[in-house]
């Protein structure tokens, strides 16, 4: 594998290190202080510069991602709050929303607070506040490349109600600033259940900064509401933080590449005196046909969400009326896949533009 600027074989690494952990690897631990007390964390550190934190007690979500010590993901003031503090009603989900690279929303419901057939539904569902089981963190050599992964299962179940199970595997490599998230959702119950999934990907400073842009193929972009209509001409551009900014949400329709994937990126070409940095998200459009952008340019809440989903986050009753909701039958399994690649420089950003725009 190519590390520290040179091709290095597995044999050479064995000869020059006592253990692979000298270069990077996986650390599994439990937090002990404040609102994070009791939360399990798994850190993955890579000599290519990628650092990541996965939280088994928060739905196996990714609370942190950085590259060469440069933060990629936005992190909120709540930090890695224990799911013991989760409140399900209204907008109270926001009290445990750490942001991070990925917060999963679902599984039977996501989106705005709603009342559907008499059932009160709070913001974005429960799955990100449920602890995983059967968690495994491991790594192995594949030829001259070292692969690392974390996997586990998260179950959202209710007696006399829906019973869904999420199997998640997150994979990366020591020589590639690349992360693959693979999910399988299975209906382990005996009744047909709604399946609503949205991946709340949260990109922050310094990728999001004055002059940064959102990059995508030719797209049809619509505003969610009147507030978003005010900013639709500038949906893809970012400026300085604004006091008392009201969020703007846009719905995107983009085409798929030859493999059926949607591709979207946020890039900051001015970063580090013109070196540039960005992140590129690839997702399977067959099961994630809807793309939402959450633009929040407030002070402290300075973030752009890129959110692939299988419906839009307008509320379950609205999605039903629009015939835009997916159901999952007993025994059925549905696959979702996200891939993240760091755009390390303006050369990478230019290559993304040439390929996908």
Per-domain boundaries in the chain: 2-356
Mention every residue, 6+ apart, whose C-beta is less than 8 A from residue 229.
223
**Tokens linked to 48:** 């290519």
Strand ranges (DSSP E) for 255-332? 261-268, 277-284, 290-297, 302-309, 326-328
Give kind and range of the element (H or E) at residue 83: none
pLDDT in tens, 153-172: 999 999 999 999 999 999 99
φ, ψ (nearest 5 deg) of residue 221 = -115, 130
Q: How confident is the model at residue 139 (pLDDT cuts 50, 70, 90)?
A: very high
| Dihedral sign of CA atoms 225, 231, 233, 239 in order | negative
For the segment 272-284, the average pLDDT, to the nearest whole number, is 98
| Number of neighbours of residue 85 by Cβ within 10 angstroms | 12
Q: What angle do CA 303, 342, 351 make, to 5 degrees?
A: 110
| Predicted local confidence at residue 271, as pLDDT | 98
pLDDT for 168:
98
Confidence bin at 324 (pLDDT 50/70/90): very high
**Comparing C-alpha atoms, which of 55, 31, 69, 66 is closest to residue 150?**
55
Tokens standing for residue 190: 């005996």
Q: Which residues contact 140 (CB under 8 A, 6 or more apart)?
A: 146, 147
Look at residue 266 in the predicted model and tell me its pLDDT: 98
Is 2-356 a domain of CATH 2.70.98.10? yes
The reported pTM is 0.97
Confidence of residue 356 (pLDDT cuts 50, 70, 90): very high
């Amino acid at each position: 594998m190519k590390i520290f600027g040179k091709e290095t074989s597995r044999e050479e690494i064995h000869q020059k290190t006592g253990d692979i952990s000298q270069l990077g690897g996986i650390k599994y631990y439990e937090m002990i202080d404040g609102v994070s007390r009791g939360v399990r964390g798994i850190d993955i550190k890579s000599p290519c510069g990628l650092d990541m934190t996965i939280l088994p007690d928060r739905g196996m979500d990714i609370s942190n991602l950085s590259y060469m010590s440069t933060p990629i993901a936005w992190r909120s003031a709540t930090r890695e709050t224990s799911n013991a503090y989760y409140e399900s009603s209204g907008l109270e989900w926001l009290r445990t929303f750490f942001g991070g690279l990925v917060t999963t929303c679902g599984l039977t419901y996501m989106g705005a607070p709603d009342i559907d057939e008499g059932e009160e539904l709070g913001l974005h569902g429960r799955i990100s506040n449920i602890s995983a089981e059967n968690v495994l963190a491991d790594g192995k050599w594949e030829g001259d490349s070292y692969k690392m992964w974390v996997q586990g299962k998260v179950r959202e179940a209710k007696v006399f109600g829906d019973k869904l199970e999420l199997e998640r595997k997150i994979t990366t490599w020591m020589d590639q600033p690349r992360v693959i998230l693979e999910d399988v959702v299975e209906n382990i119950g005996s009744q047909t259940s709604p399946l609503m999934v949205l991946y709340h990907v949260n990109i922050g400073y310094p990728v999001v900064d004055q002059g940064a842009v959102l990059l995508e193929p030719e797209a049809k972009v619509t505003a969610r509401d009147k507030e978003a209509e005010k900013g639709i001409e500038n949906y893809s551009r970012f400026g300085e933080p604004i006091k008392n900014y009201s969020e703007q949400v846009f719905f995107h329709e983009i085409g798929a590449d030859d493999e059926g994937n949607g591709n979207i990126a946020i890039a900051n070409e001015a970063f580090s005196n013109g070196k540039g940095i960005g992140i590129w998200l690839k997702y399977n459009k067959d099961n994630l046909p809807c793309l939402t952008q959450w633009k929040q340019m407030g002070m402290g809440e300075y973030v752009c969400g890129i959110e692939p989903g299988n419906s839009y986050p307008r509320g379950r009753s609205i999605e039903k009326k629009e015939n835009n909701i997916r159901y999952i039958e007993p025994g059925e399994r549905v696959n979702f896949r996200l891939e993240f690649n760091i755009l390390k420089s303006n050369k990478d950003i230019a290559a993304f533009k040439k390929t996908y725009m």
